[in-house]
Each structure stands twice: as C-alpha cells, then as structure tokens.
Structure 1
Amino acid sequence: MLLTKTNPRVIAMSGGVLCGTCIAACAFLTNLGTTGVCLTLSGAGLSMVYTPIHLSLNDYFPDKFVLMNTVSLYGYTAGSVLLPILIEKSLKAYGYYGAFLILGGVAFNSTACAATIRTVPSKSTRNEENDQVEPDKRKCFSGGKSLKIKREEEVDEEISEQSRLMQSESGCDRQETSLKSKPTCRKTFFEACKRSCGLWKEPLFIFSLPIHFLQSYTIYSWMLFLVPHTEQLGIQSSKAVYLSTIGGIGGIIGRTLFIILLSKGVNAFAVYVSVGCICTGTFLMDFVCSDYRSRAALAFVQGFSFFIEDAIAANLCKGAVFDDGNIGTAFAISIFMCGLGATLAGTFTGHLFDITQSFTKVFIINGFIHAFMVGHLFIVAILIKRKRLSD
C-alpha cells in the first residue's frame, strides 16, 4: 500500500532504520513482551527493505529477473555463513547485551543498501537526455533552431487548427456527453475488490501459494533447529554452531552452480524439483547418523539445496503471473506467505518437539512436509509450461 503512494527508496531506508533500531533496542529490554514487540517491528522494517528491492530488480531486469534475483541473494547466503559465528563469539565476549547491539549495527547496513534504489528511467526521459547531450548535431541552418523545436511548432499549429474546428462542432454536445459519462448503477463491493486485485485473474499463482508457505517453513525450521538438534545428539555447542556455517558454504556453492545453469538456459523448475528430492531424502534419513562428520555432510547438502530453493518464490511470481501489472501484488502476497511460514516454523516445530522430545522425529516430519512441497511444485511447473505453450 505504501509503495503505491511513496518513493520506494524512502520506504526501504525507513525500514532499515526501523529494523536496526528495534534489534539494538532489544539489548536494553528485560521484559519478554516488549522484546517480542521490538522483534516484530524489526521484521516489519526488514520487509519494508526487502519488497522495494525485489520490485526494483524486476523493473531493471524484467527478462532476467530470476537470474539477477538469485545473484542478489548472495548477501543472504553470506549472512547465514558469517552471522552464526559472529553472534556466537559476541555472546561469549559481551553477552546478550553486546550481541544485540552488534546485530542491530549489522541490520543498519540495510539502510545504506536501500539508498541505492533508483527508479528506472523511461524511454522518453532517455530521449530527452540524449537531445540535451547533443544539441549541436540537431541544429537546423535556418534561424539556428533545432529540428525538434521546429517540429514542435508545426505540431502546435496543427493542434490549434484542429481544436478550433472541434470547438465549433462539439459545443452543443458537451452537456449530453457529460450526462452519458455518469455511472448508471453502483458496483458491488465484491466486484470492486475483484477489479482492484488483478490476482483474481491469476488462478495459477493462487494455486501455487502453498509452495511459498511450505518452502519458507522448511528452510526456517532447519535454520532454527539445526544447532539444537546437533546438541541433542551429544555434540558440543561450540562445534554445533559451525554446522550453520557449513550449510551456508554449501548454499554459496549451490547458488553459484544454479546461476551458471540459469545463464546456460536450463529450466529453473527442473533444478528446483531435482534438488528438492535430494533435500527431502536427507531429512527422511536423519535417523541414520549422529556423529559430527555425518551431521556436517547433511548440513552441507541441505544448505546446498535450500539456498537454491529460496529463489522459488521469485520464480513463481514471474512464471505463474501472466499479467505484468499484477507482479507487484504477487510479490507482496508471496512475501506474506513466506513470513507466515517462517513464523510457524518456530512455533509449530517447537510444539512438535515438545510432543515428541526428539529433533530426529521433527526433522523426519519436516521431510514429509518438504516432499509435499516438491510434489506441488512439480505440478505447478507442468501447468505453467502448458499455459505458456497454449498462449
């Protein structure tokens, strides 16, 4: 809603300030409720940064959005590699007070990133700039006037002559035209909502919404409980925390390979389904091994897969939406579903652990959830291909 009325760069920079301020403020809070409110506001601020950047990328690279969006997610992957180590060391050196201040300082960098957002110049603006850069080349010898100015004068004369004729002919018809233009009946509320939200005409994207939710749920559940799961198996926390870094390294390799495949013209959905099946297998086989090397290998493969899959949402917003005017709304709903999945990843997965008292069982359940997501994605990919071929 704000992006339709305000400069995207202003919204993104405001979101960066809100996110960093709220995270840093948590260092001074001792009440669980107020801490939760600050973390909620920090998430809202982060979404204010996230959405304009996605839309800006789509404006600059409409034909290569999936590729460029995947490149931009390198920062997200690098954060998953470095931040676990940074926070672990900060907790030991400064406690929660210093760790939250440092994390807030990291979040403030999103303000500087948001400051780089620019509106894509239109073709008319570019033509005007070219006219100003090379005025001498467009000069006409008669009177020193440029061709552009002379053409504008000729067009103005023609328009003035046509307007005189039209005024004389249509003077008596204005009142009838104004009466005919008045609406004869009121639109119902549902019809107004349907007209304003073009996604009602994008059934394929609406059908794909569970994929956004489930993909976010599985990746955030993995991020949140990877280290506690390893600790429950008897591995020290000082070693367990490095599994997040190992997963991030796998993510960087996977993302690099994915970018190479996209640049070669490989179908992105074929890659998603392939790595999704591999990732599902690692979750379903979670009970097989418990030593540190095996857990590190699983974390590497899971990170390799997840950081390829996190581009699925953007790919669906472009692939399952056939009217470019609905892409902005599709991004907003996609991010909402991802946020909902991330929220339930903490609450529902934690509730499953309270019931089972075993992270191994929780990870196996997540494997079945992920398998359902991959199957749904496979169906959507086929439907998108058929729709594109029929059009």
Structure 2
Amino acid sequence: MAEANSIFYWGYVIVLSKFIFGCIDTGIAKSFGVLIPTMVERLDSDYATVGFICSMPSTLTYLLGPLVKMFLTDTNTRVIAMSGGVLCGTSIAACAFFTNVVAIEICLVLAGAGLSMTYMPIHLILNDYFPEKFVLANTVALYGYTAGSMLLPILMEKSLQAYGYHGAFLILGGVAYHSAVCASTIRKVSTKSTSGEGQDDIEQNGRKCVSRRNTLTEDTSLHGCKEGKDEDGDEENQGVSDQTRLIRADSIKKQELSSTSQSRCTATLFQAFKGSCGIWKEPIFAFSIPIQILQSYTCYAWMLFLVPHTEQLGIPSSTAVYLSTIGGIGGIIGRTVFIVFLSKGVNTFSVYIPVGCVCTATFLLDFVSSDYRLRAAFAFFQGFSFFIEDAIGGSLCKDAVFDDTHSGMAFANAAFWCGVGATFAGTFTGYLFDITQSFTKVFIILGLIHAFMVGHLSIVAILIKRKR
C-alpha cells in the first residue's frame, strides 16, 4: 500500500518535471523570436537562414525522438536524460562566443539533441505513471509550455538590453541547464518492472550457459593436456603444449562471449526496429501524421515570428514582446478550460476542431489593422488555441492507436513528425518572408495551412469514432 502511494505521489513529481521542461523548451523557441532580428544583423544573414538555425533546438527535440527511444533502457534512462540537459545548456551558452552562422548552427543542433535526450525519457515515464489518464496528466504538464512562452521572451528582451547579445545567450544557456534537474527526477515505475526482471533472468541464464560452456571447454583442454603428458613423457614439450591449449581455450572463451554480446545487441536493435515499424499497422494514426506536422509548423512559426511581425508594423520591440505574454495568458486560460472539459469526459476532438477554427480566423484576418489592441486580441486567441492544440499529438497516440504494444513508438513517431513541422516553421516561413517582405502575407498563408489541418483533423475524428 505504501509503495502504491509512493508511486502515485511521485507521478506528480514527473508532471512537475515535464512542466519545467516545457517551460524551458518553448521558452527557448520564443526567446529566439526576440533574438532573430539581432542575429540577422550580427551574422549578416537573412531571415530564412537564421530562422532555420533557430528552429534547430525545437526541431531536434522531437525529430530525434525515435532514435533516443531506441537506446533507452531501464539502467541508462536517467543518465541519458541528465546528460542531455548538460549538453543543451553548454551548447546554447557557447553561442555567445561565435559570430559564424555555421558554428552557431552546430551549437544549436547539439542543443536540440540534448533537449531530445531529456524530453523523450520524461515523456515516456509520464505515460508509465498515468497509463489511463495520460491525456489529462500531459495537458496539465503542458502548462509549462504556456508559462515559458510568457516569461522567457520578457527575460530575453530585458537581458538583451541590459547585457547585450553575449549576456542574453549566457542567461538562456543557464536556463537550459535546468533541464538536467528535471531529468534527475526520473524513476522507474516498480509495477512496470516485471518485463525488465524477465529480461534480466534471460540474460543471467544466458551468462550461466556461456559460463558452463567455457568451463567444459577448459576442462576438455586440461584433460587433453594431461593425456598428452602421459604419452610423451617429455616435460618440456608438454609444458609448451599445455600453455598452447590454455591460450586456445581462452581465445575460444572470448570469442563466445563476444558472439553472445553481439547477438544480444542485434536482438535489441531488431526489437526496436520491429516496434517502430509496428506503428504502420495503425492506419488511422499513420493517416493523422500530416496533422501532427502542420500543427507543429503553424505553432512554431507563430512563436518564432510573432514579435518580428509586430515590429514590422511599427510597434517598438520593448512593447511588441508583451504580445508573447498576452498569448501565454490566453494559453493558460485555454488550457484550463480544456482540462475542465477533460475532467467532465468531453471528447477531445469536439474541442480541438472549433478552437482550431477560431485560430484559423485570427490568421486570415491579419490584414485588417495594425492597431496594437487588435494585435493583442489576435495574440490572445492564438495562444488560447495553440496551447490547447498542442495536446493533439498525445490524444492521437491514445485514441488513434488500437494496440497498446504500439503506444511507445507512437509517442516517439509523434515527436518525430512534430520535429519535422518545427523544421519547416523556421526555414519555410523565413523563406516566405524573404520573398514577400511582408509578415502579414506570411501569417495569412499560415491561416490557410492551419485551415487544412483542421479539416484533416475532422476526418480523423470521424474515422476514430467509427473504428471504436
């Protein structure tokens, strides 16, 4: 009973850890929205290139999800997660000392890899603690994404003014180091240990078999040495023969151990590959992949270019940055409303679709006016919508996957496609601006893309309802 209570309460520690990690993840993406204009000028580059390299942390956080999942085991999960936090913080802080686009891109790629090493273990362990209420627990944890979008852009704006470009990156790197603290809370769920213990038993039995085989080999070799000694009677030659046979026995032992290790490694990789391919046996989930890409694309494009868009309309940077805070406030309200609906048992897709329609409308009406009050209203409703929609991936992993054995790789694949969308958010959106030189046109295009995503989501919701 005490152990069950410990598991129950520690689950909320994991929720808190994912909350803080979300604050860091989204805060980094939104902070680059403040830093992009300065980086374009400092690096003597264009918006497409800078937008691409600034999308790397968010992109690789999710893009590398399946790869990180493949190498996770019960013994190294926390080590990998904490190492990722250290790698991320170090890489972002290092950006302060480079003025070359390639060098900064390498640092941000490493930062994204580090974030992925932390994100995937926390995400998977959250599902272990809340297998039946994952969507609710995950939605609560996603408050961190809202908080990060509110607080870190303001922190970066003030840091940029007070400490300059170098100081802002060093502070952002310090914030990223806290992801290692989040990773330190990872603890295996004891009720999930059965399969791990079974695997350990198999490995122990394998070791015993190898040990017995090696013992028999050594005994046979020694026996052969003794027989040879009796027949020859030459002690000097027999000593050489004994030594040769012992060397051969030791060589055979090493080869067998190496063969066993290689076989185990091959079996692990095969199981991981088999698990990743198994997700394609879920046709509805596979059909929903464009939704995950487009939702991530529009959300991260909004995060990266909301402040530059507002600045282009003639609003000072010190004022424009508060639109991120307003969007975050809208996100808190939206997420709270969504959690209330979840607790009442309301179907999640009946919330996503109308909210998505509202978000689409705010993008398509972007041309109406450049008045700051209207921009604030748009930012509020966009934050309200996006911070509800970011739970779509988790919902699809639960509702569109009908075989529980495919759930783990479903989460990893959802993260991968989210990373693909984040990649296009920085690159393609920056490219559109370089062509049009108008963020208003860019945001209208985002509205059209978002409208297509909402329509596709409606079709998937119907398919899931019929399947169930």
Category of TM-score, reference length = shorter chain: 0.7 to 0.9
SS across alignment from 1:18: helix
Instruction: Verify: 1:67 aligned to 2:153, yes or no.
Output: no
- Aligned in 2, Cα 1:210/1:238: closer, same or farther, shift over 3 Å? same
Task: Return structure 1 stretches of 4+ with deviation > 3 angstroms.
Answer: 192-196
1:380 equivalent to 2:449? Answer no
Give the 3 Å change call, closer, same or farther, for CA 196–354 of structure 1 in structure 2. closer
Amino acid of the residue matched to residue 313 of structure 1? Answer: G
In structure 2, what is the equivalent of residue 48 of structure 1?
Answer: 117
Greater fraction of residues in helix: 2
- Which whole-Å deviations, capped at 9, do the CAs of 1:181-211 have from their partners, x for residues lacking one? xxxxxxxxx9x96676211211111111111
Instruction: Supply the distance in 2 between the matched residues of 1:339 and 1:209 (Cα, whole angstroms).
Output: 12
The equivalent of 2:215 in structure 1 is none
% same residue: 77
1:221 pairs with 2:290: no
Of the three residues 384, 405, 410, the one matched with 1:304 is: 384
Aligned equivalent of 2:188, options 119, 124, 130: 119
Q: Pairwise CA RMSD of aligned residues?
A: 1.9
**Unaligned residue ranges in structure 1 (runs of 5+):** 126-189
What is the aligned residue count? Answer: 324
One-letter amino acid of the structure 2 residue matched with residue 199 of structure 1: I
What TM-score do you get using the length of structure 1 for normalisation?
Answer: 0.80
Q: Are the aligned partners of 2:149 and 2:324 in contact in 1 as well (CA < 8 Å)?
A: yes
Give the letter aligned to residue 84 of structure 1: P
The gaps in structure 2 that reach 5 residues or longer are 1-69, 195-269
Compute the displacement of 1:214 (Å): 0.2
**Offset at residue 4 of structure 1 (A):** 4.4
Partner of 2:399: 319
State the match for 1:58 in structure 2: 127
- Deviation track 1:102-148 (CA, whole Å, cap 9, x = no partner) reads 111111111111111111112888xxxxxxxxxxxxxxxxxxxxxxx
Contact 1:194 1:200 survives alignment (8 Å): no
Distance of 1:320 and 1:114 partners within structure 2:
29
Residues 248-327 of structure 1: pairs in structure 2 closer than 5 A: 248-327=328-407
Work out which structure has the larger RCO, using CA pairs closer than 8 Å and 6 or more positions apart in sequence.
2
1:77, 1:7 → 2: CA distance? 30
- Match for residue 104 of structure 1? 173
What are the superposed Cα offsets for residues 283-307 of structure 1, whole Å, 9 maximum, x if unpaired? 1111112110110010000000000
Q: State the match for 1:7 in structure 2.
A: 76
SS of corresponding position for 1:62: coil
Q: Is the 8 A contact 2:275 2:409 kept in 1?
A: no
- Which letter does structure 1 place at the counterpart of 2:190? P
Corresponding position: 1:20 with 2:89:
yes
- Residues 80-114 of structure 1 show CA distances to partners (whole Å, capped at 9, x for unaligned) of 10000000000011111111111111111111111
Is contact 2:276–2:409 with CA below 8 Å preserved after alignment? no
How far is 1:7 from its partner? 2.7
Deviation, 1:38, is: 0.6
Q: Deviations over 1:324-358 (max 9, x none)?
A: 11111111111111111111111101111112111
Q: Which residue of 1 aligns with 2:108?
A: 39
**How far apart in 1 are the matches of 2:331 and 2:129?**
26
Match of 2:434 among 351, 354, 357: 354
Counterpart Cα distance in 2 of 1:296 and 1:123: 47
- Residue of structure 2 equivalent to 1:165: none
Cα gap change, 1:120 to 1:243, in 2 (>3 Å): same
